[in-house]
């Protein structure tokens, strides 16, 4: 885990792929939180009661286990509450890059399918479209832009305007261009180029104001496996 910025209030990291952010019933091995607590023990207890500051100290947002990139963590309770409000009010600007199956017809667009839990499999999220039966659906909005296309794959930029769980993965699947190697949402036969062994999604940048009036912007280049996949597919 790479710490790219820290001050008395926040910690910004570049999360590597293949590691969970925090522990849980199905989580095996070390987590991002384990590393954070070793480097910044003061974050223990920072979070929502009764458990937030124990298993999820300082966390105001998360990335999936196989998603890489920028995350911000609160270093004290004051910054935790402030950052939580920033994310809840959608005042943070997030940009992702993804390698997807196929080539979207439109070079740019907006995906606005509401997202909730699939009735047949509550562990998965689904988009409200067609005959899908979705429970507890809430509004979800993602802007996308195609950066480069190849024979079978494309590199796209994704800008989520809401923060639903698995939003980008669900929205790209609903659009008809699932994220490469994403077996959970793209299915077992989802496209997956040789040398690309995880869902190819990277949180490229994050911007927000904290404290009010102080604009912060952070970026992280894609990790080695993502870059290698781009080269294999001639998308770099």
Catalytic residues: 64
Residue 84, class by beta-carbon neighbours within 10 Å (0-12 exposed, 13-18 middle, 19+ buried)?
middle
Total Cβ atoms within 10 A of residue 28 = 8
Cβ-proximal residues to 58 (8 Å cutoff; 6+ apart), any chain: 11, 36, 40, 43, 46, 47, 73, 74, 75, 80
Total Cβ atoms within 10 A of residue 223 = 17
Alpha helices in the chain (DSSP H): 32-39, 52-55, 77-88, 167-175, 183-186, 224-232
137, containing H or E segment? strand 134-138
Structure tokens at 219: 């970026």
Residue 20 gets which letter from DSSP? Answer: B
Question: How many angstroms separate the CA atoms of 5 and 107, rounded?
Answer: 34
Q: SS3 helix, strand, coil % of the chain, rounded to 5? A: 20, 35, 45
């Amino acid at each position: 885990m790479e710490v790219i910025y820290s001050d008395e209030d926040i910690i910004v990291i570049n999360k590597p792929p293949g590691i969970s952010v925090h522990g849980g019933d199905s989580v095996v091995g070390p987590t991002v939180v384990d590393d954070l607590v070793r480097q910044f023990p003061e974050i223990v207890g920072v979070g929502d009661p009764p458990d937030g500051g124990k298993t999820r100290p300082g966390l105001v947002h998360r990335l999936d286990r196989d998603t890489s990139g920028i995350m911000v963590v609160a270093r004290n309770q004051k910054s935790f509450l402030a950052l939580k409000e920033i994310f809840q009010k959608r005042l943070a600007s997030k940009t992702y890059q993804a390698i997807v199956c196929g080539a979207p017809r439109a070079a740019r667009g907006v995906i606005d399918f509401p997202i909730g839990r699939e009735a047949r499999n509550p562990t998965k999220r689904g988009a409200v479209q067609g005959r899908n039966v979705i429970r507890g659906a809430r509004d979800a909005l993602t802007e996308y832009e195609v950066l480069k296309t190849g024979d079978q794959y494309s590199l796209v930029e994704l800008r989520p305007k809401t923060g639903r769980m698995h939003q980008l993965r669900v929205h790209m699947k609903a659009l008809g261009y699932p994220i490469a190697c994403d077996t959970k949402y793209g299915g077992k036969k989802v496209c997956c180029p040789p040398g690309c062994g995880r869902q190819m999604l990277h949180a490229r940048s994050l911007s927000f104001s904290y404290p009010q009036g102080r604009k912060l912007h952070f970026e992280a280049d894609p990790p080695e496996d993502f870059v290698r996949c781009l080269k294999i597919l001639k998308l770099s």
